[in-house]
Chains A and B, each alone.
Chain A
Amino acid sequence: MTGAAFTIGFYFPAAAKGAASVLTGKGAEVIGVELTSWISIDKTGLVTLVNHRSEMGQGSFQSVPQVIAEELEVDLDKVNIVFATGDQSKYGSQITGGSSTVRGSYKALLLTGATAREMLITAAANKWAVNKSDCYAKNGEVFHRPSGKKIGYGEVAEDAAKLKPPTNIALKERKNYTIIGQPLPRQDTPLKTNGKAEFGLDKKLPGMLYAVVERNPRFMGKIKSFDDTAAKAIPGVKHVIKVEMPVFATTRHGVAVVADTLWAAMQARKVLKVEWDDEGFEHVNSAQLYDRMKANLTQKTLSQRTGGDFDYAFDGAEKKLEAVYETPYESHSCMEPLNCIANVQEDKCEIWGPIQGPDWIQKDISDKLKIPVENVKVNMTFLGGGFGRKAFTDYTTEAVLISKEIKAPVQVVWTREDDMTQGPFRPGAVYGCKAGLKDGRMAAFQVKMSSQNMDHQWPGANKKIFNASTTEGFLEAYFESIPNYSFADIPTEAVVPVMWWRSVYSSTNGFAFESFIDELAHEAGKDPLDFRRSHVGERYQAVIDKLEEKTGWKTRGKNEGWGVAITECFKSIVGEAVKVSRKADGKVTIDKVVAVMDCGWYVNPDIVKAQIEGSIVMALGAAAIHETHFEDGKAVEKNFDTYRMPRISDTPEMDIHIMDNEEKPGGAGEPALPPFAPALCNAIFDLTGKRIRKLPFKLSDV
């Protein structure tokens, strides 16, 4: 960090197995390691904190610095926050996925902040020749308790940098926090209300050209021929070239049109003629895909997790239930379509864009261009949404290949239609569920998931390996209370590329699990909340109790339209209750959603709340509004006129609660998505007696 008097961060020694060592910038030089500069302080006292994760709306730009500031004792309003570049050797994993930013980094962040604080206090005490124990730090200054004198961090930063970082620092107890746990306003909000926040699409480089790419709409076809005569006649068009974008183990063939303005490139693409060679692979449609998934339920499964003896217990059960649930393919449809700027110069490459996995992309580009990893610089801008899509390496590779070929900086822009039709998509899934009840409890529980396995798409993947996500979304507590269970999958073969979509397999698993458990509760003649409560321990019961209290569950009327669901995803437990009613015009509407999240140790309750609100809206879309279909091998929905989004008028009232406890941090960005769809459908059952087992459905058809 140029101009910094004191930098401190940590690195991960290979021998320490993930435990971080805190070092100063100078200390790192001595032993020749690259330091993660989380914190730097210049002589004026300006504190710069580095956010190593991407900011796609989930609030890392606020929550990462908010953790550091707590132990560093600085006022967040007075610090400068910058994005890190992609570099795993410095920052550890930067893949912003799995709702992992806080839960994966909080200990190292706290320790780094505390270490810096202790060194600044020591430097001040030395300068004053007083006992360190008489000094403390607050708001970017060190104070001497007996005399009342104080000194700014900037004035002692240089001296602090010469000290050896202390070890065994006691971290604060949660009850003593003044910054963590507070609903502090986000530091990025003012940039997002005056148009100043720079997203990938807003970044411009001198001499930069623009490219749009006509890619094969069937995912796997090759180019037979193309005619660029008309395209090249459009003023501003500079190049029309073939480009091959790797997508997992396949190659997406395309023709890139490069021009001096984006509009010119878009116009030229419209008159470009490409003839595709689409022989030799399946041109799938949705009906075939779902028939295949359903038929697969009777095939041999790949087992992920079992306990007891399901078949034996099921045979001996007092009551038996079987059901099949279906969930759709979905597009991520981030509001900012994919884009990436690449500037390849000989053996160097620099890119800018909305990127969820900067470290992964740095390595990927280094491999693909066969240049040293340190010659690849990956710059993160703000992301206009991510949801898993922008953690992939396809769009960045494509931009790099185009820049390399035309020898100029270029921004590749995906139109909305490109973004929505090219995938990767959330995989659709069909679930075969079977369970047996004994004494009013779940004695046997089986789920067979029939869906594409994302992991099977990579080159050389072993397709005999089970899907490791068949239990995602299921309460861990159920594995203790259900004596016989079996979770397995049958991988669906299809050319459709699939990818993480907010809460990943939980987003569809949750619907099957929690719809089925609701059916079992009814079969057992039990109240849906009581039935679940009788199968879980204290921590889960607290969530159920809170839901019961906030919904007025016990005093609700019979068949009033209340439904509930509870899922566990990325170490957080979320319960949601939905209230529906039939209006005078005969239409069923969603009146209210009550959500209770237990994400353990959390940083900023207002950001957690915002993530729950957003998850509910996104879940509503996938449950009752949109779906991606395939016809003749191509995605059907191309833009928001057919892939309709939830709008403000679709949004119900929300009542959101976060549990306070001493548990470890869980995820916040995704776990509130899975319980919404089952809670909604369970509410519709309560109101109408009709079970919805296939998503999406239309509220107007209920």
Chain B
Amino acid sequence: MISKDFAINIRKHILRMVHNSGGSHIASALSIVDIISVLYSEVLKVDNKNPQWKERDRFILSKGHACTPIYATLAELDFFSPADLELYGKNDSILMNHISHKVPGVEFSTGALGHGLPFGVGKAKAAKILGQNWKTFVLLSDGELDEGSNWEAFMFAAHHKLNNLIAIIDYNKLQSLDSVENTMGLEPLEQKFKSFGWDVFELDGHNYLQLSNTLLDSSNTNPKVIIAHTIKGKGVSFIENKVEWHYKTPNDVELELALSELN
């Protein structure tokens, strides 16, 4: 079982990285920390000494703007030095502000939304053709589901019965300018996915046990989608559920306040 300290540590990294770089997307990043922590601690078969290990599970972050928890996790797992996190967003850094495949352990660069799932579908299809047993996990945002390319991919994956593909929806109910509901409502989301032919699971995206059990379950015959209900900005009271923290950078006072809350 993953320790709470692991996720707290990732949240601290995120706060410092975004503050240090003058970047954005801190709330989008905090939203997925628990999902990422469980994935890398208990689910994904990966090898920090050999990031290109053929048998590894493939993880794709489709909401590439929330890259900081991935970088922090990979650094904590010794894919590269945690000291390198200070280079986040700096000139010529491999740690650019949207997820980059130039970082050891990262499969695919995104930043434009609606690209991760089709790419993951291609990996899952390739594994089926080649008779290989690794799985492909794709983490998407809720706002990202506005993109039509995702729905092309949802249809394709179900038609081809890609049960080696797991999509996780970070359903924090907020997007860039407003709530999902006010922007372009997704409900009824579960029924949408079911009607598209996916095996659908719904859970609390901050509950480690639920995440772990559902992610590890391999009984699905169709591609699996997990609707993870989350809180945007989770873990820092003044960032939680606030639209403006999609873009805002914490100042020195806000950084200290946030870090003290996590302590």
To the question of whether A and B form a pair in one complex, the answer is no
